[in-house]
Chain A
Amino acid sequence: MPWSDTLDPYGRTISLGGYSLAAVLAVSEIVILALALHPNVNADYRAYYIDRTTTCLNRDAIGSYSLGQTVSFRSDGAKLAAGMIVCGWSGPVADGTHSLGETSRLRLQIPPLRNGLKATLQMAAVIRPPQITQRVMISVHGVSVHKVTLSGKEPTTVSFVIPHAAFSNARTFEMAFDYLDGIPPSQAASNIYKRSIKLVSFRLDAV
Chain B
Amino acid sequence: MSKGRTNNPVTTVKSTGHAPWVKDPKHFEIFRDYWQGINEHHLIAAAVVAVPLMFGITGLAIRYAAVASMSVEPGFESYARALCRWDCHWYVDISERGYERFPIPNQSNVGRWGFFPFYPMLVAVIRGAFPFPTILVATITSIACSYAACLVAWPLLEKNMRAYVLYCAFLLSGPFSFHFTTFLSEPLFVLLTSCVFLALKRSSYLVAGVSSALLSATRLVGVLVVFATVIQMFQQHRERGGSTLSFPRWVLGRPDLLVAVLISPAGLFAYILFLYVTVGDGFAFLHVQRAFGRVAGNPLLFLWDGLSAVPTTGWLPTAPQWSALAAITGLALSVVLVARKQYGAGVFCAICIVLPLITNLASMVRYVIGLAPLIMLMAVLLSASKLTWLAALVLFLGACYFMTLAWIGGYLALV
Contact = CB atoms under 8 A, between A and B. Distances in A.
Find the residue from A18, A40, A49 having the highest chain B CB count within 10 A: A49
Interface residues of A, number: 40
A59 B291 CA distance: 14
Contacts of B280: 39-41, 45
Contacts of B109: 48, 57, 87
Contacts of A59: 103, 107
B290 A48 contact: yes
A49 B293 contact: no
Contacts of A170: none
B281 A41 contact: yes
Interface string A23-38: 0011011001101110
Q: Which of B255, B259, B265, B360 has the most CB of A within 10 A?
A: B255
Interface string B272-307: 110010011111100110110111010001100100
A50 to B, nearest CB: 6
A15 interface: yes
B391 interface: no
A160 interface: no
Contact of B284 (A25, A49, A189, A193): A49
A45 B7 CA distance: 73
Nearest to B281: A39
Contact of B255 (A4, A36, A192): A4
A2 interface: yes
A17 B255 CA distance: 8
A35 B255 contact: no
A29 B294 CA distance: 27
Given A49-B284, A192-B293, A18 B255 contact: yes
A4 to B, nearest CB: 5
A21 B302 contact: no
A80 to B, nearest CB: 16
Given A41-B281, A188-B305, A29 B255 contact: no
B341 interface: no
Contact of B282 (A4, A32, A44): A32
A165 interface: no
A21 to B, nearest CB: 5
B103 A49 contact: no
B223 to A, nearest CB: 11
B279 A41 contact: yes
Interface string A106-144: 000000000000000000000000000000000000000
B294 to A, nearest CB: 7
A39 B256 contact: no
A22 B262 contact: yes
B283 A192 contact: no
B234 interface: no
Interface in A84-98: 87
A190 B294 contact: yes
A37 B293 CA distance: 23
Interface string A158-198: 00000000000000000000000000000111111100000
Interface of B: 102-103, 107, 109, 253-256, 258-259, 262-263, 265-266, 269, 272-273, 276, 279-284, 287-288, 290-291, 293-295, 297, 301-302, 305, 360
10 contacts: A18-B256, A33-B272, A36-B272, A36-B281, A40-B280, A50-B281, A50-B287, A57-B109, A59-B103, A193-B293
Given A29-B262, A187-B305, 20 more contacts: A2-B253, A4-B255, A21-B259, A29-B269, A33-B282, A35-B282, A36-B272, A36-B281, A41-B280, A49-B287, A52-B290, A57-B291, A60-B103, A61-B107, A188-B295, A188-B360, A190-B290, A190-B294, A190-B295, A192-B291
